[in-house]
Chains A and B, each alone.
Chain A
Amino acid sequence: MKSLIKKIARSDVGINVRNFIGFRPIWIRRNREYRVVSVSDAFLWRTDNGFKTTFKYSDILGLFYKIKDSYVELVFYSKDNNLIKRIIINRLDYSNELLIDRDFLNGIEGYGVFYIFHRSDSDCGDDLVISNRCYVGFSMEGSLSSFVHGNLYVRYQSLDGKYGGSGMIQSSFFKNLYRIQNSFVEFKKSELFFVNPTSKKLNFSIGLNKYSLEKGCSILIDVSGKEEISILSKCLFLRPVIFNYKDCFFDVYHG
């Protein structure tokens, strides 16, 4: 009987019910039929206000699976989820670096997200699921980059790029509270960066301010001077990247 309940609770219908009512929710899901995939965060890029972004990523297929012909595809979107560019990078080292500045993004000054998908044309077996956690560094006016690691699972694609999915983070019927566990009072300015990691329109609020993001869209919100910040939404995992500014310096981390 116990194992039957467990089986039901772990089925697609069971997970839907759990997420709907908020009982032991499963916050991340992907199509389990796809068994050879590369999962990506929605990484923030910034070229606004003198920012440059440095992206550091590993050749996971080469390092862990000794696959020699691996390469990566990176796909860049504006904050409104409009495709900016798509690039393929061959000849990978174990660790790699890409500078994302205004020139790289066709002169665009702004912010948005990008995804990284690992690729291989070799036979990679029938059970290989990888996720590059990566590191994204932000520098302003030539300063040393401040790095933050990947934090979410948002999109996935097969290693041959033929199929994939998005909106991996799940939602519930009821609203969820997320209290950021740090204070912002000591900083001159603080910004929160959110991307909608779900497959639906996302509504959320911070205090009395309400925000709405279409699928794949992102937003930077000024929350300067607040002691504590709480975020209310139906998303089961909505954690921002945080920028804090003091004097001539800034820091970035995930909240």
Chain B
Amino acid sequence: MPTLVLPVMLAGFVVVRLGLQVPFPIERGLVFPLALVPSLWALWNMIWIGSHMRTHLSIGLHGAVLPLLLMPGGAVIATCLGILQVGQRGVTWFHSFYVPYAWIVPAFACALAGYYLLWKYIVGFLNRVLGIA
């Protein structure tokens, strides 16, 4: 799935940063989604393939667990790279998007639901087509 999104994100980066000359260094924000997330998805998929015969956990539920690892890790990396500022009442992403703390819990639930659906329908489909699950 991240591999499918990668070209779109790269095209968006080229348009925004090089074409529209946006001054914000969005390449810092791309390190995590372009370098780490695809590898983590692949690793998570391999873990599911290796373990589901024993655990009988569905691929959707297995995928929904991934944000529990990704979100704190991604937030730490974003803070270190200066694209996430932690404030008293909320956080600011990319120097532009303010997210109050009250929104973080529903956003997290939303991420779990989104990951569940993506893993169940897209990763599951690709695994079936490739004959690895």
Same complex: no
